[in-house]
Structures are given as C-alpha cells and as structure tokens.
Amino acid sequence: MIKVGIVGGTGYTGVELLRLLAMHPHVEVTAITSRSEAGVRVSDMYPNLRGHYDTLAFSEPDAKQLGRLDAVFFATPHGVAHALASELLDQGTRVIDLSADFRLRDADEWAQWYGQPHGAPALLGEAVYGLPEMHREQIKTARLVAVPGCYPTAVQLGYLPLLEAGLVDAGRLIADCKSGVTGAGRGAKVGSLLAEASESMKAYGASGHRHLPEIRQGLTDIQAGAVSLTFVPHLTPMIRGIHATLYSTLIEAPGDLQTLFERRYAGEPCVDVMPPGSHPETRSVKGTNTCRIAVHRPENSDTVVVLSVIDNLVKGASGQAVQNLNLMFGYDEATGLSAPAVMP
C-alpha cells in the first residue's frame, strides 16, 4: 500500500482523482490540500465520496507532510507545481503533475504561452511526458511525470500510427477538436454558464491555443522531424468529453490502415481501435480511461480521417495520472481504471 497526496483537490481533476483512487486496492490518499477549503471534510464538499473519505479533510499545503508520502499529484493551475516540486523530489517523493508546468521541454516557449517565467527550469530535463503509449519505460523509473493535456492526448494517439509508419505528410496535419465545458475548469466563468454554453457551439483559440506547442512537440518526437499542425478547438454543450477529428494526406501507399492501427495498439489497455466504419461517441468513454479510435479513408482517396474520443477528465487528466502512478510503482497499468463507461 502506498500513501499519496493531492495538491489542489477542489477542482474537477482533483475530485476525479479522489473518485478513481477510492477504488484503487494499493493506494491510500492521506493528504489533500486546498488553502480556501482548509478544515472542510472531503465528504462534505463531495457527497458522492461519502463512505470513502469520511475522515479526510482539506488542509494547507505543507511540504514536510507531503514529502513523507510516496507520491503527490498536483491538480493545480499552471505555475503552482514549480514552487513545491523540487522540494518534494528532494525528500524522495515522486511527483505526478496534471498541470502544464513540465509538459514543454523549452522554458522560454513555456513562458511565451503561459505569460510568466518558468519557475523550475532545472527540472525540465528530467520530467517524463506521461503518455504511456509512447513513454512507458521512461515513466516506470521517473521521479517527475508531466501528465499530458486532454486535447494533446486525443490528438497524439490518433496520429501516432500514421506518423510512426511515415505514411502521411507531416506538414499538412489538421486537428479539429471539440471539448465539454469541464475542460475550462471548475471556476465560475461566464462562458461556461449553462445559459451561455447550452444549445451552442463555438471555436476558440483558432489563432493559437496553449495546447498547440505541446501537441506539436509530441508529434515532432513521433515524426523525428518537423511537423506543421493546424489545431482548432471548440466548446460544445456537454459536460465531459473530447472528440478529435484528425485529417492528414497520404504520401505513400498505406496498405490496410485498419490493420496498422490494430497492430500498433494491440495490448494497449487504454486504447480501443474500433471496427472498420465506426464513429466513436464521447459518451462511450464517459468516466473511463479509454481512448476509442476509428480510422477512415473517404472514397479511397489520399485523405485519412482519424476519429479519437476520450473523457477529458479521465484519460485526458486524472485517469492518465493514475495510469502513470501504476507504472511508476509496478502495479498493473489498468489497476483502478477498468470500470466501463456510464451510459446513457
């Protein structure tokens, strides 16, 4: 049994971590922090967790207390993990960061997109990007894991087989993506209000979104060369889910694309390649750590369309964080993550 803590437990990713870890047979959550809610019992704030965390209360962040734990999750806004991560690592605690603080390897690029200097550039060299389907072996021995963002997870998993095989033009990639409103976080924002988001859909960040450099970095690693990506996210009137429609242009005879995807993801516990002709739905992954993928070649043309769906709070955040934890501590990768989706 390992003891873990969560820094920033009142947001959507924090409570999702609590939900998932409540059923994990090898994990005990012994600390959860929130400056604004210190002293409040978790089960009072989140009644769905009654019977699981009845004695656990939010507390002020305490580096010494957290440093006694085996692992600490950061479910915080960007910039917060910078201040504490180094101190925890020095005490032997392994860090799993759900924010964007360690996803980009270039501190200057991070500062450009996040509007402030990077607070811990010395750690960027050892941070492992926590996409298990790409970096499983590095994750196993990592002290610091940067959990990928939701859009980057769906996009990279969708493009991975095509770019690895060198079948498509890496200079002409288009990712048309949709997200539920929980992607904007739990804070009160006018654009996320029911009356504003319901019965409507809109694009945002079309001229540049913070997830763009992360996606580009990952695709460049797969391609082992430069890529050009047009990425346009959209807000849709649903609570959870990411739907990525990915376009690319063939540069070589592809053979059987269905077989290519099935072979690449054979044995991957958290990726499901759907049968030919499928159109995966976001509700089919609600509450799960599964990425469902379908590949199409319209009219046998030189265009490939990949459909990739995830739950933004699970495979796009907290579930992937638990998947990383399992790898880091030698547990079966899918431990605590095998529940089927909730439907309808």
Catalytic residue ranges:
150
The conformation of residue 168, written as its DSSP 8-state character, comes to: B
Buried b (16+ CB within 10 A) or exposed e, 230-248: ebbbebbebbbbbbbbbbb
Asked, as a colleague might, if the bond just before 340 is cis with ω within 30 of 0, I would say no
Is 296 strand, coil or helix?
A: strand
DSSP symbols for 4-32? EEEESTTSHHHHHHHHHHTT-TTEEEEEE
Cα distances from 204 to residues 144, 190, 286, in angstroms, run 31, 15, 23
- Both tokens of residue 204? 């945002």
Cα distances from 13 to residues 46, 84, 260, 285, in angstroms, run 13, 19, 33, 16
Distance CA 71, CA 65 (A): 12
Type of residue at 303:
T
Handedness of CA 5, 8, 13, 18 (dihedral sign): positive
Burial (Cβ within 10 Å: 0-12, 13-18, ≥19) of residue 187 = exposed
Cα distances from 115 to residues 74, 79, 274, in angstroms, run 20, 10, 40
The conformation of residue 315, written as its DSSP 8-state character, comes to: I
